Structure 1
Amino acid sequence: MTNSAPRKLLQTLTAAFALLLTIGFSACSNKDEDFTAPAMSEYLPLEPGRYIVYRLDSTVFTNLNRDVEIHSYQVKHVVDAQINDNLGRPSYRVYRYIRDKNGTQPWTPSGSFMVTSLSDQTEITDDNQRVIKLHVPLREGFSWKGNRYLPTNPYGGYYSFSVDDDMKNWDFYYDTFQDFSYDNRTYTDVLSVEQINESHNLPIQPNYSIASKERSVERYSRDIGLVYKEYHLWEYQNNSSSANPTYTGFGVTMWMIDHN
């Protein structure tokens, strides 16, 4: 009797511990099953007739690329219709329009782009550049090669710089799901997609021979779509053989000011 009592107590404690482990694992499993990542369509809805109006600030280099200026406009994206893209996949064509920054002039057509939503990723093809803008699952920290379809030096035909050399290897990732404010406007339930944030020799000093900026981020608001975009690729070149330093490249910052 005396020897069997400890064994029974040990058996009882062992069984209780095993039960607690089972309950703990079950709770964790149910928690994972209960969490469902949002769908891509929630952050990039596509319906004919939907539109978003943006304020756009364009960084341009004037006076033989010696001076930096900001030119401002309004840009409107309108979802037109579902058609097939050049790979034969169902896609939506989106028309782009532009007008003065104060919105006093009529809209002028400014090209179009294609949005292709697949089961695991959403692509945008604009000016023959195909980029994976969103990818499942939509969870903080998830990463993918968003520029994998781009050629080497995709802007080589337009600009003489090196900041586009490694674009195919940019790691896109989901940064945050939270509200976002810019220019006295607040956008709710925003998914941020970080793409690149690198610079060299900024701020520029007179003795610098070269400087550069690579910055790309997009923010999407649930049930609306893209509400903010920053895309800067430029290089400062102070060549000893030239009388004046010059810039080459571009910069775009745009944010939503209206939608339906």
Structure 2
Amino acid sequence: MINQSFQETNKFSISSRVQWLIVIACITMVFVACSKTDNYRSDPLSDYMPLQKGKYWIYLLDSTNYYNSQKVQTQYQLKDVVDDTLTDNLSRVAYRLIRYIRPSSSTSDTDWKLMGEYYMVPTKQTLETIDFYNFKYQSLKLPVALNLTWKGNSYLPAFPYSEALPVQSSFNFTVDGGMGDWDYTYTGVGESETINGKNYDNVVTVSQEDASTNLLEDNQTPTNVNDFATRAFSAEKYAKNVGLIYKKLELWEHQPASPTNPDGYYVGFGIQLQLIDHN
């Protein structure tokens, strides 16, 4: 694992929790699997996440953050650039990606502010991602075949967002427990998708989790304000010869009503990434 601490530069007037949402926004997950696929011919993973020096992706990030019983929604642009390669402690080639941020309405290159760096490591069967906090995710898995399933978060701590993060970035919830057991599944292969008004062919969908308790059909509203409710959803889409084009992650709880919060309150976050440009 690469020991790289998050280096914040150019304060951007965003809280540490919002920074964490941005950190995890582009983090991809996946690895380990099981199915009768020994003889299945598959496209290489590099087709779906091309990593070459100078390659970049620009995303529109929409984030929702619940804290102090308040719902805070923000929007930014993120830019990830493949900066260089190096060798990890297992003697594997790792790609270093630099992340930048700017206001969502900006079109000026001078507005990009450095946020930090993370790593991607292609292996024979998987694509690993190592984030700013040394969390390792397993992002894609061979073969790229419909219904292939694997444990994508098997290297994560037991409670990654509530216990393993620095206190100023952590969340006071328990819905992150058991993330290591999430089943990642290719639920779409070779499909067409329209993301932010642009059409993409040969898209692979990785469904990672879709679970809720005590919520109405909208998966947002508790069945009763006195109910403890949870929502955990995660999915990503990759386009061939492009890379990650879409990501959505929701992880939050609704705490029951109390004298100080008669409607109950939410704690947690949600993010959505949509690709808007790449080279």
TM-score tier by shorter-chain length is 0.7 to 0.9
CA contact (8 A) 2:49 2:244 kept: yes
Q: CA deviation at 1:246?
A: 2.5
The secondary structure found in structure 1 opposite 2:58 is strand
8 Å contact 1:219–1:228 — kept in the other structure? yes
Cα shift at 1:33: 11
Q: Which residue of 2 aligns with 1:96?
A: 99
Gaps of 5+ in 2: 1-36, 164-169, 216-220
SS in 2 for 1:232: strand
CA contact (8 A) 2:196 2:275 kept: no
Q: Tell me the TM-score normalized by structure 2.
A: 0.76
Residue-by-residue CA offset, 1:7-39 (whole Å, 9 max, x unaligned)? xxxxxxxxxxxxxxxxxxxxxxxxx99962111
Partners of 1:190 and 1:219 within 8 A in 2: yes
CA separation in 1, counterparts of 2:38 and 2:70? 56
| Residues 210 and 237, structure 1, Cα contact 8 Å, conserved in 2 | yes
More deviation, 186-195/48-57: 186-195
Percent identity between matched residues is 35
Correspondence 1:88-237 to 2 at 5 A: 88-104=91-107, 106-126=111-131, 127-157=133-163, 158-177=170-189, 178-202=191-215, 203-205=221-223, 207-237=225-255
SS in 2 for 1:57: strand
Q: Is 1:255 the equivalent of 2:277?
A: no
CA distance in 2, matches of 1:235, 1:228: 24
In 2: Cα distance, 1:89 partner to 1:208 partner: 51
| Contact map agreement 1:161 1:248 (CA 8 A) in 2 | yes
Q: Aligned partners of 1:207 and 1:239: how far apart in 2? A: 6
Q: Distance in 1 between matches of 2:188 and 2:214?
A: 28
CA distance in 1, matches of 2:225, 2:175: 21
Would the alpha carbon gap of residues 80 and 86 (structure 1) be closer, same or farther in structure 2, given more than 3 Å must change? same
Q: Does the 8 Å contact 2:96/2:118 carry over to 1?
A: yes
- Secondary structure of 1:189's partner? strand
**Residue identity in the other structure for 1:189:** N
> How many pairs are equivalent?
227
Cα separation, 2, equivalents of 1:218 and 1:85: 26
Counterpart Cα distance in 2 of 1:87 and 1:156:
29
Give TM-score, length-normalised by structure 1: 0.81
Letter of the 1:217 counterpart: A
Work out the CA distance in 1 between the residues paired with 2:265 and 2:57: 35
Structure of larger gyration radius: 1
Greater relative CO, 1 or 2 (CA 8 Å, sep 6+) = 2
